[in-house]
């Protein structure tokens, strides 16, 4: 069963709420790798608006979407049938996924110091023409700001859940590498071993998926059973990613999940992927190792990790030859 964590007391700063919430996160991430959060303070109108923007974008003519193909920073439009998590170690993903997606990262102006470095994943977003989708950019940036503010306030509970000082993770998420994906799953027939999105684990630190009433997401338990994600209106489904799994020396699970193509209606998803600054060294946390539990992985920078993972799975070159 996937746990439900109410954050209302924690976000209100009530006595003891930090420790209780941290305990709930620790239990969920060590047993399941997923939980559902209620009592958050991300405005419902923003969540609903972002779902509406995802639909507006994917309703555009294909020629308009292909004019916004993925750039080298992996921002922009990705057509259906051109990708999957090919590096998945939980399934032989040999067929492309049945969804199209649009990716937005942190908005950095031309004079932003990180953008001026020229490093990958720090460059410009790709935006639709304001005349074609009026208000789209502004609404998406408002949602990104709300999600960054909310997830930053959750970091102390995640730190304490790993027996660390509440402020441990916060410095690593200044100029964090968050990523919003606006996905569209059409109701199409899947072939054998084909999915809306194939079985995989996420490459980032934590994922926050605003829930919709169209089902699709399934989570694989430790015994191999696939569970439907319980739907609670206005909630987020939250999971640990590979970076948190690696940072915690495997203590927190990066649980495999998948999405089935919807039946009879279109499904839209707006997952917010939280990840640390590119320069962050992901090495075994001091509270997650000991004489009988040595570090399982060599340290790696987040930049090196996400560069490898992106090249193997979402290489923008796979989008270059698509015509309208």
Q: Is residue 324 part of a domain?
A: no
Taking residue 111's Cβ as centre, other Cβ atoms within 10 Å add up to: 7
- 280 located within any domain: yes
| Inter-residue contact 25 to 6 (CB < 8 Å) | no
pLDDT value at position 84?
A: 77
Interacting residues of 156 by C-beta distance below 8 A, sequence separation 6+: 18, 166, 167, 169, 170
Determine the pLDDT at residue 317: 67
295 and 249 Cβ atoms separated by less than 8 Å = yes
Is residue 126 in a domain?
yes
Cα–Cα distances in Å, from 213 out to 25, 187, 265? 25, 15, 11
At 67 the pLDDT is 95
User: Please, are residues 288 and 319 in contact by the beta-carbon 8 Å criterion?
Assistant: no
Low-confidence ranges of the chain (pLDDT < 50): none
- pLDDT for 48 equals 98
Residue 11 lies in a domain: yes
Q: Which pLDDT score, from 0 to 100, does residue 320 have?
A: 62
Token output for 73: 């920073």
Q: Which helix (H) or strand (E) holds 34?
A: strand 34-38
Is position 306 within any domain?
yes
Longest CA–CA separation in the chain, Å:
62
Q: Which domain holds residue 248?
A: 4-319
Q: Model confidence over 184-222: pLDDT tens digits?
A: 999 998 889 889 999 999 999 999 999 999 989 999 998
Q: Are 36 and 2 in contact (CB under 8 A)?
A: yes
Cα–Cα distance list, 322 to 102, 181, 318 (Å): 15, 20, 8
Q: Give the pLDDT score at 27.
A: 98
For residue 205, the 8-state DSSP code is S
User: Which of 54, 120, 55 lies closest to 316, judged by CA?
Assistant: 120
Q: What is the pLDDT of residue 1?
A: 86
Q: Is residue 281 part of a domain?
A: yes
Domains of the chain: total:
1
The domain that holds 215 is classified in CATH as 2.60.120.330
The C-alpha torsion from 234 through 235 and 241 to 245, rounded to 10°, is 160
Q: Output the pLDDT for position 117.
A: 92
Residue keyed to tokens 């490093």: 119
Alpha carbons within 13 angstroms on the beta-carbon side of residue 221 total: 10
Q: Distance between CA 61 and CA 136 in Å, rounded?
A: 16
Q: What is the pTM of this model?
A: 0.96
Phi, then psi, of 17 in degrees rounded to 5: -70, -35
Q: What confidence score (pLDDT) does residue 246 get?
A: 98
């Amino acid at each position: 069963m996937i746990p439900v964590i109410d954050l209302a007391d924690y976000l209100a700063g009530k006595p003891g709420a930090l420790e209780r919430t941290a305990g709930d996160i620790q239990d969920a991430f060590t047993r399941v790798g997923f939980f559902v959060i209620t009592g958050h303070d991300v405005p419902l109108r923003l969540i609903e608006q972002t779902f509406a923007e995802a639909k507006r974008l994917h309703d555009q003519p294909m020629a308009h979407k292909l004019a916004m193909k993925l750039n080298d920073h992996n921002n922009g439009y990705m057509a259906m049938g051109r990708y999957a998590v090919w590096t998945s170690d939980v399934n032989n993903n040999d067929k492309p996924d049945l969804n199209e997606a649009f990716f937005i990262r942190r908005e950095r102006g031309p004079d932003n110091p990180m953008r001026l470095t020229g490093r990958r994943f720090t460059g410009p977003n790709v935006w639709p023409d304001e005349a074609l989708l009026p208000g789209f950019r502004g609404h998406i940036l408002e949602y990104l700001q709300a999600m960054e503010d909310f997830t930053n306030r959750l970091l102390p509970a995640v730190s304490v859940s790993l027996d660390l000082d509440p402020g441990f993770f916060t410095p690593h998420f200044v100029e964090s590498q968050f990523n919003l994906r606006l996905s569209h799953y059409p109701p199409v027939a899947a072939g054998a071993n084909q999915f809306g999105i194939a079985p995989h684990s996420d490459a980032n630190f934590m994922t926050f998926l605003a829930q919709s009433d169209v089902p699709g997401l399934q989570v694989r338990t430790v015994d191999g059973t696939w569970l439907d994600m319980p739907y609670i209106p206005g909630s987020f489904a939250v999971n640990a990613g590979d970076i948190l799994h690696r940072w915690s020396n495997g203590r927190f699970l990066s649980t495999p999940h998948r999405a089935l193509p919807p039946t009879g209606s279109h499904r839209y998803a707006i997952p917010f992927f939280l990840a640390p600054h590119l320069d962050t060294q992901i090495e075994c946390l001091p509270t997650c190792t000991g004489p009988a539990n040595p570090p399982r992985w060599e340290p790696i920078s987040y930049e090196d990790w996400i560069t490898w993972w992106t090249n193997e799975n979402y290489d923008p070159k796979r989008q270059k030859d698509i015509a309208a």
